[in-house]
């Protein structure tokens, strides 16, 4: 007997990647993601679903693989820190 799964996108505040209208739904980004963050949408031409946002390593492979630059990676605040030289 086959099981049925329901899939819904994660809450926007936790989503590490977003897609622009330029996305063709080719799913290359989902294929290259080593962490299975992205799940191909079963509807043709739709961008992948961000299935496991907490698993993202922010490696950028999905962004680099996109042929039309339609995917954007949003680094968490802690990754944006810059260390500056301390003066005494
Ligand atoms: S940044 Fe890396 S881990 Fe995160 S979704 Fe893209 S390919 Fe997957
Ligand atoms: S690789 Fe680019 S065009 Fe293809 S599904 Fe991902 S974001 Fe869309």
- Which CATH number characterizes residue 32's domain? 3.30.70.20
Closest by Cα among 35, 71, 27, 70 to 51? 35
Closest by Cα among 70, 78, 77 to 27? 70
Distance 28 CA to ligand 2 centre (A): 6
| Confidence grade of residue 81 (pLDDT, cut at 50, 70, 90) | confident
Structural domains of the chain, count: 1
Structure letter (DSSP) for residue 5: -
Distance 19 CA to ligand 2 centre (A): 8
Tokens linked to 86? 């301390």
pLDDT in tens, 56-72: 999 999 999 999 999 99
Q: Rounded distance, CA 9 to CA 46, Å?
A: 13
Query: 3-state DSSP call for residue 79?
Result: helix
Distance 58 CA to ligand 1 centre (A): 5
Does residue 57 lie within any of the structural domains?
yes
63 Cα nearest atom in ligand 1:
6
pTM of the complete model beyond 0.75: yes
Does residue 6 lie within any of the structural domains?
no
């Amino acid at each position: 007997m086959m099981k049925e799964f329901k899939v819904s996108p994660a809450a926007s505040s936790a989503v590490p990647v977003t897609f622009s209208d330029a996305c063709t739904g080719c799913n290359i980004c989902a294929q290259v993601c080593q962490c299975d963050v992205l799940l191909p949408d079963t509807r043709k031409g739709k961008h992948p679903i961000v299935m496991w946002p907490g698993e993202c390593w922010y490696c950028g492979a999905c962004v680099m693989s996109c042929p039309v630059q339609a995917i954007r990676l949003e680094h968490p605040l802690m990754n944006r820190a810059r260390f500056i030289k301390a003066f005494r």
